[in-house]
Amino acid sequence: MESFIMSLVDVASRPGMISFATGLPDNSLFDVDGVAKAVAEVLREAGGAALQYDSATGFVPLRMRIADRCRKELGFSVGYENVILTNGSQECFDLLARMFLEPGDRMVVENPGYLGAIQSFSAYGPEIIGADVGPEGVDTGQLEAAVASGSKLFYSIPNHQNPSGGSYSDPVRTRVADIIRGSGCLMIEDDAYGELGFNGRAGRTMKSMAPEDVVLTGSFSKTISPGMRIGWMVVPEWMREQAGRSLEAASLQSGSFDQRIVDRFLADNDYDVYLQGLRKAYAAKKDFFLDAMEDELPDSVEWNDPQGGMFVWLKTPPGTDAMRVFDAALEDGLVVMPGRPFHVRGGENTLRLNYATPSEEQILSGMKILGKACRDALRYF
């Protein structure tokens, strides 16, 4: 199961295959001209220095921009020194696991939760405890019990979660902050989709509510470019030096050329206007996708109406096996993502659908395939 996501990426890239499976943003929404302009400016102005090594924790002007955005949009103040740039936010998960997990240590993940991060943590041999995620967010009773039992880390996506598409309600945020604050369990707040809320941010950041006990991770992968691999973590002062040393040992530094490009892109463009364009485009795609679901899928399956991010969460009837829908759809040329691998327990009747990547034409064709697959695989329901 370990590299299941990436093998689906390979399957999905076969000619003629339609994919609702990956976590890729929509290529066509990247500002290719804006990036080209930024690169040309960076090389013209900085010359060879743009291609040189930089400090381990990243290009300072970009870290200052991110710190600035934390103050203006994310509700907390932080110096740029506490913003550490990484090779995508995936590297943050690896570094945090390296710093805080010994084999056999407990940690909490959302059930379902983001598979890529869980794979990263799993490499360090923890005992993984799942806390169920419902429409209001994580089950705080389960979280509290897991934290009380000595968990070292809690990994979560409070906004537009991958895979389920939901966000924490305000009361859940408050309760989670109370549980985490001073508990000795470090919370990782993965904010990969936080900037892609159709109606703005889904709620206050956990980092603003428990600053000493939360590491917020962010990324330009869903907004500007995944291939540039610019992630970051905003760390409390007490772990800043250790985080820098770990990063240096693991990879020396991440890509400072790309960091300069994005810094320049953000200087040239109003990021809020840019994000507003992305949000509108993804909201429209989501509506189009949900309309197609309404038209094509049988009444026996249900789904949510996500308010941001990239994913719709589909449930087949309790007791059914969604892998049968997966298999049937694959046979007809559509890849979807089974929900089971995102779970510590349960989830056999779930599928994750990405509405961000496919074109409208692919959505229409793919949904017909998915409808037929549901009807075939679930015909006794």
The CB-of-263 to its own copies minimum distance in angstroms stands at: 13
Asked if 223 touches its own copies (CB under 8 A), the answer is no
Kindly tell me which of 35 and 351 has the beta carbon lying closer to its own copies.
35
Instruction: Tell whether residue 30 is a contact of its own copies (CB under 8 A).
Output: yes
HEC secondary structure over the chain: CCCHHHHHHHHHCCCCCEECCCCCCCHHHCCHHHHHHHHHHHHHHHHHHHHCCCCCCCCHHHHHHHHHHHHHHCCCCCCHHHEEEEEHHHHHHHHHHHHHCCCCCEEEEEECCCHHHHHHHHCCCCEEEEEEEECCEECHHHHHHHHHCCCCEEEECCCCCCCCCCCCCHHHHHHHHHHHCCCCCEEEEECCCHHHEECECCCCCHHHHCCCCEEEEEECCCCCCCCCCEEEEECCHHHHHHHHHHHHHHHCCCCHHHHHHHHHHHHHCCHHHHHHHHHHHHHHHHHHHHHHHHHHCCCCCEECCCCECCEEEEECCCCCCHHHHHHHHHHCCEECEECHHHCCCCCCCEEEEECCCCCHHHHHHHHHHHHHHHHHHCCCC
The nearer residue to its own copies, 39 or 145, going by C-beta atoms, is 39
Q: What is the pattern of x (binds its own copies, CB under 8 A) and - over residues 105-144?
A: -----------x--xx-xx---------------------
The stretch near its own copies (CB under 8 A) out of 22-30, 70-78, 183-191, 371-379 is 22-30
The residue (of 94 and 191) whose beta carbon lies closer to its own copies is 94
Name the residue nearer to its own copies (CB basis): 164 or 246: 246
Residue 88, interface with its own copies (CB under 8 A)?
yes
Can residue 148 be called a binding residue for its own copies (CB under 8 A)?
A: no
Among 8, 18, 21, 56, binds its own copies (CB under 8 A): 56
Of residues 243 through 302, those in contact with its own copies by CB under 8 A are: 244-246, 248-258, 260
Of the candidates 54, 189, 190, 296, which one interacts with its own copies according to CB under 8 A? Answer: 54
Least distance to its own copies, CB of residue 183, Å? 27
The CB-of-170 to its own copies minimum distance in angstroms stands at: 32
Catalog residues that contact its own copies under the rule CB under 8 A: 2-3, 6, 9-10, 22, 24-25, 27-30, 32, 35-36, 39-40, 43-44, 47-56, 87-88, 90-91, 94, 98, 116, 119-120, 122-123, 221, 224-229, 244-246, 248-258, 260
